[in-house]
Amino acid sequence: MKDLYKLESFILEKISKTKLPSLTISLIKDDEIIYMRGFGYRDLENFIPADPDTIYGIGSITKSFTALSIMTLVEEGKISLDDYVDKYIPIDLRPGGEKIRIWHLLSHTSGIPALGYAEAYIRSFIGEENVTWLPIASHEDMISFLREADKWAVSPPGRQYYYLNEGYVLLGMIIEKLSGVKYEEYVKKRILEPLEMRRTYFYKNDVDKDPNVATPYVIDRDGNLKRSVFPYGITADGGLLSNVRDLSKYIMMLINRGRSGGKEIVSRESIEEMEKIRIETPGGYFRGEGYGLGLRIISDFFGRKLVGHGGSVHVYNAYLGYIPSERIGVSVLTNAPGYSPTFIGQYALALMLGRDPEKELVYILHERVYEKLVGDYVSYKETMKVKIERRGPLLYITFRGKYVVWDIPLVPEKIGENEYVFYSPSLGAKTPAVFYERDGKIEMIYERYKFIKKI
């Protein structure tokens, strides 16, 4: 691949800055893995490096396997996407007075906002503080948990997008009811075994027997990496563990419209149905972002349709993406919170398309600008001293005195060639903060003050 060194340099930079212990990545073109590599240590304490066969949790990428399983049942005539959920599960949820259909759960359009079961479960598992203990251990537990969920609804089904992990747990129940076997066994028989994904697991016993598993880590409030655990018990909404070699086989099947090595997992029509936008998703980086059936879709990623999904169970993070028209794809796995695998995957795809992600991906462009701007600033003859700090997606002007404290958020408004315009919100007003690059220096104008960044 052209410009491979750029990708590797970018990955090393990001795992260093965000303290990621390890990362693995694969790139796919047509029916071939054209690049695979592990970076860093899958086990820091024992200095064991990661490689393309290292196992990580893939989180919500599992949802695409659940959706694919539903499509196999649709093709067998056992279920329709328009069927009501209560046809298969003893639960009567009516957001806005309307019943929920199967496709509403698949597309996160039930009308019920996130109920937080997975978040509470995962955070309890890893030992987070101030978390409600919520041991959802069975289908019956989930049904009980959801009994009053429609009172939490904010719209009738099919109108708005609200990501709902619980909906995918219900889909797993439906797969079990219609197939007569456990959800995990159905996915294994219908998807994993035909694709020869021999090291993709649901069960702890299988993972424990595998010699090449990434240790899960968390980062505490002091920035220290701590060994943690995988939250076994999450299933149809995020329970799979895999590796980039196996995920590459899955991506190639999706690119080949449901086929792999002469076997048909599902029809071309089913894959294309999964890739249709059912609802637009708000707040994205690209035009035409939406959700299909178990898959996220970007309609205009440098003029192409990009399909994929991210995943996180906090201690593991993942991304899978592919561009059907170009027959290219990527998978990225990490074993701690840190830099977004989605950003790394899209950086790689941009390079594969011959684009410059440093200049053409808006979030990379913003990151580079932020890196320039953070630091210590002084006014005329150092009469005032402030800092520009980054906290998540925002910059802050900060000053800590005994009597005066500045903690002012700066929201980006316009990123130009050598001029970067931000504003601080204040009770409906917007106070501009403008940064300039001039003669090798960075200046900031805020309110009545001019500051210069100290070198």
DSSP letters along 16-31, please?
A: HHTT-SEEEEEEEETT
User: Is 391 found in the same domain as 304?
Assistant: no
| 302 and 412 housed in the same domain | no
- Tell me: do 41 and 109 sit in the same domain: yes
pLDDT over threshold 80, residue 259: yes
pLDDT digits (tens, 9 = 90+) for 317-332: 999 999 999 999 999 9
80 and 117 in one domain?
yes
Q: Are residues 23 and 113 in the same domain?
A: yes
Tell me, what's the pLDDT at 134? 80
Q: Is the pLDDT of residue 62 over 90?
A: yes
Residues 371, 340 share a domain: no
116 and 193 housed in the same domain: yes
In a domain, 45, yes or no: yes
- pLDDT at 104 > cutoff 80: yes
The CATH number of residue 139's host domain is 3.40.710.10
Average pLDDT over residues 109-126: 91
pLDDT in tens, 344-396: 999 999 999 999 999 999 999 999 999 999 999 999 999 999 999 999 899 99
**Is residue 122 located within the same domain as residue 250?**
yes
- Is residue 21 included in any domain, yes or no? yes
Say yes or no: 71 and 177 in one domain.
Answer: yes
440 or 169, higher pLDDT: 169
Of 290, 323, 355, the position where a domain reaches its end is 355
The answer to whether 331 touches 319, Cβ cutoff 8 Å, is yes
Specify the pLDDT at position 96: 93
**Is 362 part of a structural domain of the chain?**
no
CATH number of the domain enclosing 406: 2.40.128.210
Last residue of a domain, one of 310, 335, 355: 355
Confirm whether 360 is domain-assigned.
Answer: no
> How high is the pLDDT of residue 125?
82
Query: In this predicted structure, what is the pLDDT of residue 55?
Result: 98
| Together in a domain, 150 and 288 | yes
pLDDT above 70 covers what percent of the chain?
100
Task: State whether 175 and 303 are in the same domain.
Answer: yes
Query: Quick one: the chain helix, strand, coil %, rounded to 5?
Result: 30, 30, 40
Q: How many domains does the chain have?
A: 2
**pLDDT of 417:** 87
Q: Are residues 283 and 416 in the same domain?
A: no
Question: If you average pLDDT over residues 93-118, what whole number do you get?
Answer: 95
CA distance 253 to 258: 5
**Is residue 437 assigned to a domain?**
yes
124 confidence band (pLDDT: 50, 70, 90): confident
In a domain, 182, yes or no: yes
Say if 179 falls within a structural domain.
yes
Confidence label for 409 from pLDDT (cuts 50, 70 and 90)? very high
Between 130 and 86, name the one with better pLDDT: 86
- pLDDT grade, residue 455 (50/70/90)? confident
Residue 304 within a domain: yes
Give the Å distances, CA to CA, from 218 to 17, 130, 241, 314: 15, 16, 17, 7
Last residue of a domain, one of 328, 355, 382: 355
Kindly state the average pLDDT of the residues 7-31: 96
Domain encompassing residue 85: 4-355
As a whole number, the mean pLDDT across the chain is 95
